[in-house]
Amino acid sequence: MLAMLAKQRAHGYQLRARLGQALGALGDEMNAGQIYVTLGRLEKAGLVVSQHSAGLPDRPDRKLYGLTAAGHQRVSEWLTEVSWPKPDLVEFHLKLVAAAAARLADPVAIVDIQRRELLRRLRDAQRAAMAEPDHSDGALLLEGVVLRLQADLRWLEACERKWIRGGSAS
């Protein structure tokens, strides 16, 4: 959410729309309440500031939200963090969308960082799998790890293709 504010300040409802656009059908499952609760928490944490717009009712969705310096800092850190194996595809996807929208980082470079990490893990898993006797239980588990990492790497290839072509259609 912070990253969605990195490009420019936004009203709560605009923020919702941005998230909705980035997430497609998945975004529909998010309710508005969640967004305002999160914004409230981020404000308390000093990462976000809000401002009343003159002449509008004092409701959370009418406030204009923006990032503090600390908020910007947090976003930059988040973009280059590597967070796997928790297979948080949504989070990684949002990183790329936000990085491209706010021109904070090159999405392809973020994909490269992630790919390197996954390849290292694949290397570890592959080495361990090669050391296991054929058809052992351990080999089967490691095959699962290898296959999952391969699937993740294939998705990264798809991400790379998209962001090389110039990114989001929106």
Partner 1 sequence: MSVTKHTSVFRAVQLRKEYGKGEGLVRAVDDFNLDVAAGETLAVTGPSGCGKSTLLHLLGGLDRPTGGEVWLGGRRIDQMSERALARMRRYSVGFVFQAFHLMDELTAVENVELPVLLAGRSPRAARRRASELLEQIGLADRARHLPSALSGGQRQRVAIARALSNEPLVVLADEPTGNLDSSATMDVLRLFDNLHSVGQTLVVATHDPRIAATADRMISMRDGAFVDETRLAGGTSGRLAALVGLEG
Three-state DSSP state, 126: helix
| Cα atoms in the Cβ-side hemisphere of radius 13 Å centred on 156 | 22
Is residue 129 a contact point for partner 1 (CB under 8 A)? yes
Angle formed by the axes of helices 12-23 and 32-44, to 10°? Answer: 120
Is residue 80 a contact point for partner 1 (CB under 8 A)? no
For partner 1, which is the closer residue by CB, 37 or 131?
Answer: 131
Q: Which of 128, 155, 162, 167 binds partner 1 (CB under 8 A)?
A: 128
Give the closest residue to 99 by CA, choosing from 87, 90, 88, 108: 108
For the CB of residue 116, give the shortest distance to partner 1 in the complex, in Å.
5
Which residues are within 8 A (CB) of 142 and not within 5 positions of it... i.e. 6 or more apart? 125, 128, 129, 132
Is residue 99 a contact point for partner 1 (CB under 8 A)? no
Is residue 117 a contact point for partner 1 (CB under 8 A)? yes
Is residue 81 a contact point for partner 1 (CB under 8 A)? no
Would you say the C-alpha torsion 14, 11, 101, 152 has a positive or negative sign? negative
Is residue 153 a contact point for partner 1 (CB under 8 A)? yes
Helices marked H in the chain:
2-6, 12-23, 25-28, 32-44, 69-80, 89-101, 107-131, 137-164
Is residue 145 a contact point for partner 1 (CB under 8 A)? yes
Which of 13-21, 45-53, 92-100, 144-152 is the region at the interface with partner 1 (rule: CB under 8 A)? 144-152
Give the closest residue to 33 by CA, choosing from 22, 24, 41: 41
Which of 44-52, 62-70, 72-80, 110-118 is the region at the interface with partner 1 (rule: CB under 8 A)? 110-118
Is residue 123 a contact point for partner 1 (CB under 8 A)? yes
Is residue 106 a contact point for partner 1 (CB under 8 A)? no
Q: Which residues bind partner 1 (CB under 8 A)?
A: 85, 112, 116-117, 119-130, 134, 141, 143-147, 149-150, 153, 157, 161, 164
